[in-house]
Amino acid sequence: MFNNKIILITGGTGSFGKAFVNRLVTKYKKIKKLIIFSRDEFKQYEMQKEFSVKKYPFLRYFLGDVRDYDRLRFAFKGVDYVIHAAALKQVNTAEYNPFEFINTNIIGAKNVIEASFERDVKKVIALSTDKACSPINLYGATKLCSDKLFSSANNIGGSVSTKFSVVRYGNVFSSRGSIIPLFLDQNKRREKFTLTDLSMTRFNIFMDQAIDMVEWALKNLKGSEIFVPKLKSFKVIDLIKSINLNPKIKIIGIRPGEKIHEELISNSDSRLTIDIGKYYVILPDKSYFKKYKNHKKLSESFSYNSGLKDKQLTVSQIKKLLSKNTNI
């Protein structure tokens, strides 16, 4: 699908961007051009040590910010596919710097959409987060707004052929800034494990799964959908026990804007959500049902959150995953 195509990744020096670039340069040998668009000069410098233009002559490194429409417009010239991964993401930081999150996550999304139209990009996938589902913090609210912008962009008619869809998933297993590296470090230092609440649960997705989903969505999207993976979850206390069977724990309380259980599909979304096997798909309206011939409708009482016990991993299962994906 990517051979002889020009692909651009916003936020391309982030965790997803680097993993996605690695997938593309490994799997596809005839990419026309792969543009890594980001605002951090040092991260681009570091990334070029691993993915050099000399080794991969189809790579291009573009400095730029999604807030800057003119730079996006310039970068999108001739681009076939855009993966929009650029975002500000820290919940606490958003509460203290709301305008900055609005400018990047909402205005930036608007700029990506308009530049895609102007440059006649064929397909755009925007990455979302569980926090966009029934948001209770500013970060989640900005990502919900972004999701709505990308979904509604498909309503623009005329000669415009660009298709937009969204991929929504939770925390990536053992990614930078997640709780797993924190707990591993606390265990190494023989410190108490800091736990917000004994009931806390989280979804679990691996980076390879996220990339697989983006590839699949690019190939199969109709436009306007929000794709959601079927994931396992875990109790955070069970994660701690998988690292240390006799842990000392300090309960620190839930932070402002934090949920006990992550949510990927709300009860309100259920009437427009279908099951297509490997993924759930949230559709914009009922007219889209006919676009997916082989699907199963969900009950109107359906919701998809990490607190569902039949979806949760056991301590031994978590320990096995940690042994495969970390150094413990």
Record the tokens describing residue 249, joined without a space: 């724990």
* Residue linked to tokens 């949510």: 263
Partners of 7 in the β-ladder: 34, 81
Residue 131 falls in the annotated catalytic set: yes
CA distance 322 to 313: 12
CA distance 162 to 89: 27
Q: What is the CA radius of gyration of the chain?
A: 20
CA distance 200 to 234: 9
CA 62, 63, 64 angle in degrees (round to 5)? 110
Which one from 123, 131, 235, 319 is the annotated catalytic residue? 131
User: Any idea which residues carry the catalytic annotation?
Assistant: 131
